[in-house]
Structure formats: structure tokens, C-alpha cells
Structure 1
Amino acid sequence: MTLPAEPPPAPAPETGPPRPVGAGERSLLPDVLRGLALLGILVVNVQDFAGFREWTQVGIDRVVQVLTDIFLNGRSISLFAMLFGWGAAGLLARHGPGTLARRLVVLFVLGTAHFVFVWHGDIISMYALLAVALLFTARLTARTLVLLSGLLGGWWLLSGLLAGLAAVGSPAGRPVFFPNLVPGMGYLEFVAWRAANFVEDQLGSAVYNGPWLIALFCLGAAAQRTGLLTRPGEHRPLLRRLAVWGLAVGLPLGVLLAWLNTQGTRPAFLFSIPVRMGGGLATALGYVGVLGLLASRGRLGPLRAFAASGRVAMSNYIAQSLVMTTFFYPYGGGQFGRWGAAPAVALALLVGLAQLPVSAWLLRRFGSGPLERLTRRLVYGRPDRREPGES
């Protein structure tokens, strides 16, 4: 997750030629992309918060699940990871490995606290842990980073497909990764369970997901090298290709993912992983292409509202976990396992969209979110350090 640090500049007019981004000024496009990705991640994560199984959904719940799989599942998290790499690469270029290393340590500590005290699905600590690899990429060109990403990502996807093929014919059912939520289970019991599982979860995730996430970080770093997100007007031919080919490849794979997620078998589950992430990356690149073209012409329109949410991404992400676990878990509203996809996604959209005006107010009133301010204090020694495009 990229974590912005500077309050937004005055908005550019929506008409006329796009104004170039000046030195020290923050580009709008990365924040809009981050805000949209943040909402998409919540919509996908609500399955885990609410405890519904995608392959058992029927009626309107199945319709909502299918739409989620086609347009958001794997797409939002891929976009988030690339933006994390983009921001980390920018920080590395401006301030060197020492500052980036300190920031990754701070993010790892905050992510660990999020995992233990709030929700087992935290991604901040894992991103911080794996992004150590970016400390060794300062001298790599954009072309080399893309090549490295292709090698890592291609190997990971091939491994996933081979695992699916090896399971063909298996009678085993689809695994369930929800926690065992016992009615009446208290908050401290959850904390103890998550603390006991943290190290094993991190190690397992790092081994399994590491190559794929590092590949996405490298793509984001390549985008930082070329100025793709900060100067989209200079890259319109590339953005057009991303929009056309990304969506042409990614959306059909999203349809395939939606079908696989209606099947309750283990082979379908294993095949769904590379399909989800491969199609997710393609679609995410398509979204970058579409929004990049709009930004290059100053035509983001209402989508500009998502920039505020993207600027306080850390605070919003953890706030989402607090709201959802409090509502669904036994120590709060106790609604886990009682909601299907349609009402759960509706709630996620309500919470995510409500964060837009709250984020805008935080930026007007304080210049950043509370966790962004804390992060800057721990990294730089003061809360008002402002870095354009900081992750």
C-alpha cells in the first residue's frame, strides 16, 4: 500500500489542456488510483469479514459475486501492490536506502499491530517485509525492472497452473480460510489466536506470495522511473496499449475466475489463484491505461474525489478493518456467516464511499491522516515532512 504524505495541491481545471505537474507538486493520478483500489479491496475483503463462501451464492448474491470477480477480485490488490512499489521507488530515489529501510520497519510494526489487534488479513506487514528487495533496485533501469517482473511473475503463474493440473480429478473440496469464529468468543481470545499465528502466517505468505508481490513492486518501480503516473501526457501511446490490451486480456480472465469460483472443488480453487492474479494484473494495467488517458486530458471528473481517500490510505485501510470486524465478529455485532454477497458488498460500498468526505475533511483540517502523520513522525522525526508521491 502506498502511503501519501503531502496535502493535495489546488485542483487543476477540468477544461482546457492539462497542466503539467510542477517540481515538488503531487500528481493527482496515483492518489485517484490508490483511492479506487482501496475501495475495491474492501469490496473483495468483505467476503472474509462477513464469512460467506463464494461458490455457495445464489440469486442476486451470485450476480454480485460474479461482478466482483470480473472487475475487482485480484484487480484492486494488484493495483495496490504496484502503487506500493511506485511509492517505495520514489522514496528510494529521493532519499536513499536508509530512509526507505526505516519506513519499511515502521510499516512492518504498524502492520503487525493491525494483524494482531484488528484483523488477520493484514497486507501492510507483508508488503513491508517483501519490499526490502526494492532496496537493491536503485540502479536498475525501467526495462530491467519490467524484465525482472516478467520472470518472477511468469514463474509464479506457471507454478500455480501446474498445481491446478496436478489436482485434476481430486475429490477434495474447496478449502475455507475463515477463522473459526465461535459465538460469544471475546476480543482477547481473537488477539491471542492472531498473535500465536502471526509468524507462521507471515513466513507462509512470504514463501508463497513473495515472487508475485515482488514482481508487482518491480512494475510499480518501473512506472516511477518513467514518470508514467506523474506525467501521463508524455505516455499516451503506452497508456492506450495498456487500456486496450489490459482489458482485452483481463476481463475474459475475470469471467473465467467468476466461473471457477462457482465450483466447490479443490482443482477449481487451485486454478482460480493464477487466473485471479494474472487476470487481475492485466485488468489493473487496463485501469491504469484508462485513468491515465483521462488524467492526461484533465478529465478525471468525479473520480477526483477518490484522491482524498488515496492520500490517507493507511488510516482508511485500518479503519475499514475496525468497522467490519466490529460489525461482523462475535465480540461486536455478531453477524459473521449471516450475510450473503449482495448485502455484504452493499455495506462495503457504503463504508468505502463514506470515507471519501471524511478523508477530504482530514486533509483540510490536519493535512494528513492520523497514521500517515504517525508514520512520518517515526521515519523523519517530525510529522510535517512532505514528500511528493511518497509511499
Structure 2
Amino acid sequence: MITPDRNAIVDTLRTAALIGICVVNLPYMALPASQTLTQAPTGPDQFAAIVTAVFFEAKFFILFSFLFGWGMQIQYCAAERAGADASRRHWRRMIMLAVFGVLHAVLVFSGDILLLYSLVGSLIWHLRRASPKRLLGFALGMIALSLLCLFLISLVIALSPTAPADPTPGLSGGYLDTIRARAAAWPETFVFLILFQGPLAASAFLAGLAAAKLDMLDPQATRWRRRCAIALPALVLIGLPLNIAYALVASGPGLGWGQIADLLGFLSIAVGGPVLTLAYICAIRLLIDLFKLPSILVLAGRNSLSSYVLQGVLAGLVFSGYGLGLFGQFGQAWLVPISIALALTAMVMVGLFARLMGRGPLEILLRRVTYGGRPASPFKACR
């Protein structure tokens, strides 16, 4: 079996996830909250917000979570083969992710997902020996929990009809101002992330863990190519309308059929997000033989932690007062291409670093702590 570092499917999925996450996150680093949490006033900006909600929002963090779950199984197998304590390695990794997450939230971006991943990964670890069927059953249960959490979010929004205050004015100021602004915004943001992303991230973790056990991302597993070819049309036909309904409610004028319809449209992301994400995975699984990523992006994908954090660092240098001071100067329509360019820039920088040093800077530290200075074993299937 191909090692995970040479798996073209995984490398491509990681690269896609990094770009998609930057498209979703950048408006929260480049615009005041009063603009990101309300309907965009102009046609191009509103259209860009709707397109982002349809094709990016609640898709690429799910994809990232899926790959995290997949990697959890790979790391567990590596520890088993090396005769190492798999639990000790895992808990070291989760503690370091939590540390990175807190620092990232305060110093770079209050919408950090690393701490959430650490918490979810700590819970999912106890299910690592479960069968794929049982894991997928738990994943469906997390989607049901997501529906409940989304209903709670919609209830809070309904009970707070006034326009949102802008909690992050300091993002346009100096670096100390941005730290204070992020620290002030983070508790409320983290609660929102737990409700909006937590259950869906847990569902994707579980699905990724099951996928690793079933060899879904193994390029040699031709049965999965056939299954993806059969499933892809149905996934698009189901996922696309659900995501359009969500986008019209979350970022557009609504469905126009009353409050109940809008509520159902908002809740539909709990199903539509995972379904369209699975469609993306299947599409890449089918198309992987037709294109090859530049080696620099492959290296960046393998070092996704450094690439993810660097996106926020570069965004700060571009938009905050301690950088170019462009905070609030661009609407949603401009931020889509800017975010793609910023994501690619971050990945090229990390790829060049990894080419020189072997790994990204945060991966070097994370692996040193996780493995106690010893290298991980090459991938080999285990259950």
C-alpha cells in the first residue's frame, strides 16, 4: 500500500481543504463583524457570499476533519507497528494541538479550529477500535446532534433581532489592538464553533476513521472508484439543493416561503454540508489520474498545519493596521480571489520551507512532541 505521504488522493484533498477554508475564513479577518454577520448589501458581494455558502462554507472544514480522522487511524497503526504507546502519542498530539489552537486564536485568528479538533480528537480516540459500521453509525448520530445545535443557534438569532454589534474594531489597529480584539471575541466565537462545527467535525472524524479502515483513499482500491462513480450523481443531486437553500437563508434574502421554510433551509446544512463534501471526495477520487499537483503544493498539503496557520498570519499582514491596513476595504466579491491567492501564497511558502527542512515548522515541533524525537513508521494497513 502507498504511504500516506505519497498518496495523491490525500495530498489533493488536503490542498483543496486549505484553499476552501481560506475562502470561508478570510472575510472574518478582513471585514467588520457588522458586514460578515449580515446580508451583503450589493449585488456582486451578495452573490459572492451566496456562492461561498453554497460551495465552500461547512464543506471544507468537514473535509479537513475527515482527513484528520483518517490520519488518526494512520498514526494509531504506526504506533502499533513500532511497539510504542499509541495513547501516549495521541494525547501528546492533542495537547500540542490545543496549545497551538489557543495561541492561534489569540495571536492570529479567533475562529481557530485547532482547539476544537483537539477536543473532538480526544473524544473520538476512545472509538478507535470500533468497526467501520459502528463508526458510521456514530457519525450519523453526530449529524442528528448538529441539527439540534443549529436549531439552538437559530433560536438565539431569532431572540436577538437587532443588528450585531461589531466586537472586533481592533482588527484594523496595531498588533496589540488585534490581540485584545481577538481575546475579547474568542469566547463567544468558540461557543459558536462548538455548536456549528463541533458535531459536524465529530461526524467527519468518525467517517474518516472508518474510511481509513476501509481503505477508501487507497489509490489501488479500485472498488472505491466504482462506488464513487455510482454515488457521485446522487450526492450532487441531494447536496446541491440543500446547500443552495442554506445559502439563501444564511447569506441571501431567504427562501421567500416564510419563517418555517427559512428555518428548515438553515438546518439543511447539517445534511447538505456532509453530502456535498462526500461528493468532493468522490470527484477527486475519480479525477485524480487526470491531473497532478505541483510538487510545492503537495509538500504544503502534507504540512497542512503550518499552511493553515500561515494563511491567518498573511491575512493579518495584509488587512490589519500593523500591516497594509486594508481592513474593511474590500467586499465579499473581491475577497474570494484574494483568499485563493493568499492560500496559494501560504502553501508555496510552506512548501519551500518543507523542501529545505523536510517538514513545515509547526509539523517539526508537533512530531517531535508526539513521537518523542523518534520518527513514525511507514504506513501499513491495520484495523
**What TM-score do you get using the length of structure 2 for normalisation?**
0.83
Among the aligned pairs, what percent are the same residue?
27
**Residue 281 (structure 1) aligned to one of 274, 279, 298:** 274
Of stretches 343-352 and 34-43 in structure 1, the one that deviates more from structure 2 is: 343-352
Alpha-carbon distance in structure 2 between the residues aligned to 1:186 and 1:377:
34
**Superimposed CA distance per residue, residues 81-130 of structure 1 (whole angstroms, 9 cap, x where no aligned partner):** 11111111221233222211111111111111111211111111111122
Instruction: Tell me, yes or no, if the aligned pair for 1:250 and 1:283 is still in contact at 8 Å.
Output: yes
Of stretches 86-95 and 356-365 in structure 1, the one that deviates more from structure 2 is: 356-365
Against the structure 1 CA distance between its residues 91 and 326, is the aligned structure 2 distance closer, same or farther, given a 3 Å change threshold?
same
Deviation at 1:269, TM superposition (A): 8.4
Alpha-carbon distance in structure 1 between the residues aligned to 2:111 and 2:149:
24
Instruction: Tell me, yes or no, if the aligned pair for 1:152 and 1:212 is still in contact at 8 Å.
Output: yes
Partner of 2:359: 368
Deviation at 1:228, TM superposition (A): 0.4
Instruction: Tell me, yes or no, if the aligned pair for 2:17 and 2:60 is still in contact at 8 Å.
Output: yes
**Correspondence list, 1:1-391, <5 A:** 21-22=1-2, 26-51=6-31, 52-53=35-36, 55-95=39-79, 96-161=86-151, 164=154, 172-173=161-162, 175=164, 179-182=167-170, 185-195=173-183, 198=186, 202=190, 205-206=193-194, 209-231=197-219, 232-260=221-249, 261-263=251-253, 273-295=266-288, 298-302=289-293, 306-382=297-373, 385=376, 388=379
Alpha-carbon distance in structure 1 between the residues aligned to 2:230 and 2:306:
34
Against the structure 1 CA distance between its residues 198 and 387, is the aligned structure 2 distance closer, same or farther, given a 3 Å change threshold?
farther
RMSD: 3.2
Instruction: Tell me, yes or no, if the aligned pair for 1:327 and 1:335 is still in contact at 8 Å.
Output: yes
**Superimposed CA distance per residue, residues 323-364 of structure 1 (whole angstroms, 9 cap, x where no aligned partner):** 112222233333222210121122111112234443443333
Q: Which amino acid aligns with 1:276?
A: I
Deviation at 1:44, TM superposition (A): 1.1
Q: Which amino acid aligns with 2:279?
A: G
Instruction: Tell me, yes or no, if the aligned pair for 1:312 and 1:368 is still in contact at 8 Å.
Output: yes
Partner of 1:5: none
Of stretches 194-203 and 331-340 in structure 1, the one that deviates more from structure 2 is: 194-203
Alpha-carbon distance in structure 1 between the residues aligned to 2:171 and 2:354:
39
Higher helix proportion, which one? Answer: 2
Of stretches 86-95 and 97-106 in structure 1, the one that deviates more from structure 2 is: 86-95
Alpha-carbon distance in structure 2 between the residues aligned to 1:206 and 1:387:
34
Gaps in structure 2 of 5+ consecutive residues: 80-85
Alpha-carbon distance in structure 1 between the residues aligned to 2:160 and 2:2:
60
Q: Which amino acid aligns with 1:60?
A: P
Deviation at 1:47, TM superposition (A): 1.5
Higher RCO (CA 8 Å, separation ≥ 6 residues): 1
Instruction: Tell me, yes or no, if the aligned pair for 1:236 and 1:293 is still in contact at 8 Å.
Output: yes
Of stretches 302-311 and 134-143 in structure 1, the one that deviates more from structure 2 is: 302-311
Instruction: Tell me, yes or no, if the aligned pair for 2:46 and 2:332 is still in contact at 8 Å.
Output: yes
Alpha-carbon distance in structure 2 between the residues aligned to 1:272 and 1:73:
14
Deviation at 1:274, TM superposition (A): 3.0
Give the 3-state SS of the residue equivalent to 2:280 in structure 1: helix
Q: Which amino acid aligns with 1:85?
A: G
Q: Which amino acid aligns with 1:84?
A: F
Give the 3-state SS of the residue equivalent to 1:121 in structure 2: coil
**Superimposed CA distance per residue, residues 146-181 of structure 1 (whole angstroms, 9 cap, x where no aligned partner):** 0111012123225535764x68987825646x6321
Instruction: Tell me, yes or no, if the aligned pair for 2:301 and 2:347 is still in contact at 8 Å.
Output: no
Deviation at 1:218, TM superposition (A): 0.5
Instruction: Tell me, yes or no, if the aligned pair for 2:67 and 2:205 is still in contact at 8 Å.
Output: yes
Instruction: Tell me, yes or no, if the aligned pair for 1:39 and 1:352 is still in contact at 8 Å.
Output: yes
Count residues in correspondence.
Answer: 365
Alpha-carbon distance in structure 1 between the residues aligned to 2:104 and 2:52:
25
**What TM-score do you get using the length of structure 1 for normalisation?**
0.82
Give the 3-state SS of the residue equivalent to 1:56 in structure 2: coil
Instruction: Tell me, yes or no, if the aligned pair for 2:5 and 2:302 is still in contact at 8 Å.
Output: no
Q: Which amino acid aligns with 2:58?
A: G
Gaps in structure 1 of 5+ consecutive residues: 1-20
Give the 3-state SS of the residue equivalent to 2:169 in structure 1: coil
